[in-house]
Amino acid sequence: MELKLDPWGAVHVDDYTKLFEVFGISSFDDILLKLKEPHPYMAHKIIFGHRNYDSVLRAMHRSEPFAVMSGFMPSGRAHFGHMMVMNEIIWHQQQGGDAFAAIADMEAHAVRGISWEKCRSLGINEYLLSLIALGFEPKEGSHIYFQSENYKMRNLAFELGREANFSEVSAIYGFSGETHISHMESVMAQSADILHPQLEEFGGPKPVVIPVGADQDPHIKLTRDLAYRMRKFLVEQRKDYISIRGKAASPQLMQAAELALKETGLGRVKRYEEHIDVTEIQDRSGLLSGAILEVIDRLIIKLENEHGHYGFIPPASIYHRFMTGLTGGKMSSSKPESHIALTEDPQEAGKKIMRAITGGRQSLAEQKKLGGEPEKCSIYEFLVFHLSQDDKELLELDAQCRLGRRMCGTCKKDVAERIERFLREHQQAREAAKERLPEFGIKAL
Ligand code: TRP
């Protein structure tokens, strides 16, 4: 079967390494080695892939500006899958990033036909209260917003629309003649969500990471392309020099670029009609390193902005695995038995756990003999994803299960109790968050 990522359809990704080969997502392994205190999702390989996260990592290490941005479509109840995105946003905010969280009401209205009122109540009750309860902080430079109310973003969406044509978005999303225009606009809104943290009003160009599930990768790829297309220069490393090629850049802009490059003293700058070469680059190692390319690219991006153009750094992304649904298959907001909502009655949640599909065998005798299969168990997954930070404990459980010593009943009871406790605490924190909505510029319902 052909592997296809579809943001509005069901995706089942059984082999995540395929995503590396087919889509050009990079493995997170190399990044993990460079993180001193990775988030547990990273350490547990739940975050398995990325695009361009190096740019964010460098900014984090050098205490330079960076941001995190993601969005939630208010179409149903928020569950533990959504909580992963929330925690990833919060972690990056705690690492010093500006954090942006969008309620994608334009998308929900356009694609799912959800009324604006319903978008607002779901947005606040399901998503924002949990986001705040989990630790999102009101900080200068951090924003929670509804797409429909963010006109800086919406204006950018309109601009981006000039660079994306119908055949292209149809090829990416399978749009046809029947697809209505608002649906297409919501795609541009998402790209603008992702890029607008780099507008001057929000502190200018900086690395921005978008934490998402792999199904959102088509949006990421398109947005990275759009970011490049909005620029006036293409900065590339050639064998032993760096080429700065104008894309319909005005003569004034070419000249300004030439001057700015000369001022750096990084090498010999030679300007031609449509491009500039920087040769004889002074690099202590004697080799051209990616670092110099980045320095020059950032310089040009700054210049583009000063001249009223859109100099964007291509956004980065990180991808987490999907949780298996409690009924097997994908966890989905539209199938109540498959997930546990963050607002679920704790006791009801415990019951769902007791009914869930595990990696157990047909009979007790068989399980004692063969052992269970934790890699197929939605309950074990809950522990790994959310309920245990303790690697030793997880390894021990895994071993006991495989050896046929720990039975599903015991495991389920344990996990049910932990989930109930978690939900009780989380729901209390949500109550406290209700009072705090105005701190984020959100009017209570
Ligand atoms: N399309 C996303 C979803 O279906 C929501 C979303 C809107 C989003 N804007 C975004 C995600 C920007 C990441 C970045 O859940």
Which residue, judged by its Cα, is nearest atom 11 of ligand 1?
A: 71
Report pLDDT for 285: 58
Binding site membership of 209 for ligand 1 (Cβ less than 6 Å)? no
Binding site membership of 104 for ligand 1 (Cβ less than 6 Å)? yes
Closest atom of ligand 1 relative to the 190 alpha carbon = 9
pLDDT tens-place string over residues 361-379:
989 899 999 999 988 899 9
β-pairing, 47-51 with 26-27? Answer: antiparallel
Report pLDDT for 37: 94
- Cα 323 to chain center, whole Å? 16
pLDDT tens-place string over residues 183-242:
999 999 999 999 999 999 999 999 999 999 988 999 999 999 999 999 999 999 998 899
Q: Which residue has the higher pLDDT, 25 or 17?
A: 25
Which residue, judged by its Cα, is nearest atom 8 of ligand 1?
A: 71
Binding site membership of 215 for ligand 1 (Cβ less than 6 Å)? no
Report pLDDT for 369: 92
Answer whether residue 391 shows pLDDT above 60: yes
Answer whether residue 12 shows pLDDT above 70: no
| Closest C-alpha among 370, 369, 418 to residue 393 | 418
12-21, 81-90, 313-322, 350-359, range with the lowest pLDDT: 12-21
- The Cα 163–Cα 225 span in angstroms is 9
Binding site membership of 190 for ligand 1 (Cβ less than 6 Å)? yes
pLDDT tens-place string over residues 111-132:
999 999 999 999 999 999 999 9
Ligand 1 mean position, distance from CA 302 (Å)? 28
User: Do the domains spanning 17-230+313-320 and 233-306 agree at the CATH topology level?
Assistant: no
The total number of residues written for the chain in this structure: 445
- The Cα 29–Cα 314 span in angstroms is 21
| Closest C-alpha among 202, 153, 147, 143 to residue 439 | 143
| Domain residue limits, the chain | 17-230+313-320, 233-306, 344-440
CATH topology of domain 344-440: Tyrosyl-Transfer RNA Synthetase (1.10.240)
- The Cα 51–Cα 18 span in angstroms is 15
Binding site membership of 212 for ligand 1 (Cβ less than 6 Å)? yes
Instruction: Calculate mean pLDDT across residues 314-318.
Output: 98
Answer whether residue 82 shows pLDDT above 80: yes
Ligand 1 mean position, distance from CA 73 (Å)? 6
Which residue, judged by its Cα, is nearest atom 13 of ligand 1?
A: 70
3-state class (DSSP) for residue 284: coil
Ligand 1 mean position, distance from CA 72 (Å)? 5
% of the chain with per-residue pLDDT over 90: 80
CATH topology of domain 17-230+313-320: Rossmann fold (3.40.50)
Which residue, judged by its Cα, is nearest atom 6 of ligand 1?
A: 71
Domain 233-306: which CATH number of 3.40.50, 3.40.390, 3.30.1360, 1.10.10: 3.30.1360
Binding site membership of 148 for ligand 1 (Cβ less than 6 Å)? no
